[in-house]
A = this chain, B = another copy of it.
């Protein structure tokens, strides 16, 4: 469903409006800000219940809370990071898991130089100790930030630890079925390519084919 892909965006905009002190918003206004149609906004929200009030629009705080719960953000998910290289560290330092309500239990790597180091309060452990470290507190989500060549092994360890979802930054096969573990692939290069396509299009439009 296309609505699902829009939910995080709604959530972001409602967050901003909440911070800006907006109490009430009409489907029209929200649609304008988000480049959607008012119809679509109403249709979307009505997939999950009726949150609006005829004549007045939507209560920003209530809607925000509702969408938060629909996405599942009211639960505090426990996360482990597989691979404390550039990408893993960059996420740890920069992404703001805590701020977003995620609890990062640990990071794992196979480089002994990193063992025991701590980034943003998260300790990097030997990947061999992953099972041990996660024996008592089971993580929900695994972040895969290992080199492409180590994807399959890292993924197998995540499965063993009992992770139910993988946020995958590597390319290549994970070797787990989508029925047992939910996988979300991040390919930022795709987004750069689609930018290139649109740039080419823009230039063709300006200077002719």
Which B residues lie within 8 Å of A195 (CB)?
A: 141, 165, 167, 182, 184
The answer to whether A95 and B12 have CB atoms under 8 Å apart is: no
The answer to whether B193 and A7 have CB atoms under 8 Å apart is: yes
Known interface pairs A4-B197, A7-B193, A191-B184; A202-B86 also in contact (CB < 8 Å): no
Q: Give the dominant DSSP class at A's interface.
A: helix
The verdict on A43 contacting chain B, using a C-beta distance below 8 Å, is: no
**Using a CB-CB cutoff of 8 Å, which residues 4-41 of chain A contact chain B?**
4-5, 7-9, 11-12
Nearest residue, chain B, Cβ from A164: B199
Task: With both chains docked as a complex, state the minimum distance between the C-beta of A209 and any C-beta of chain B, in angstroms.
Answer: 13
Give the number of residues in A that approach B within 8 Å (Cβ atoms): 46
Task: With both chains docked as a complex, state the minimum distance between the C-beta of A202 and any C-beta of chain B, in angstroms.
Answer: 5
The answer to whether A72 and B196 have CB atoms under 8 Å apart is: yes
Please report the C-alpha to C-alpha distance between residue A73 and residue B191 in the assembled complex, in whole angstroms. Answer: 13
Which B residues lie within 8 Å of A197 (CB)?
A: 4, 7, 70-72
Of A71, A195, A200, most B-chain CB atoms within 10 Å: A195
Of A4, A7, A70, A197, most B-chain CB atoms within 10 Å: A197
The answer to whether B165 and A71 have CB atoms under 8 Å apart is: no
The answer to whether B7 and A199 have CB atoms under 8 Å apart is: no
Known interface pairs A164-B202, A202-B164, A202-B182; A196-B71 also in contact (CB < 8 Å): yes
Please report the C-alpha to C-alpha distance between residue A156 and residue B5 in the assembled complex, in whole angstroms. Answer: 30
Please report the C-alpha to C-alpha distance between residue A102 and residue B193 in the assembled complex, in whole angstroms. Answer: 11
**Using a CB-CB cutoff of 8 Å, which residues 86-139 of chain A contact chain B?**
86-87, 90, 93-95, 100, 102
Q: Which 8 A-B pairs have the closest CB atoms?
A: A72-B200, A8-B190, A184-B195, A8-B193, A90-B90, A165-B199, A72-B196, A86-B94
Apart from A9-B187, A141-B199, A184-B195, 15 more pairs, CB < 8 Å: A5-B194, A7-B194, A8-B193, A12-B187, A86-B93, A95-B188, A141-B195, A165-B196, A167-B191, A167-B195, A184-B191, A184-B194, A184-B198, A186-B188, A188-B188
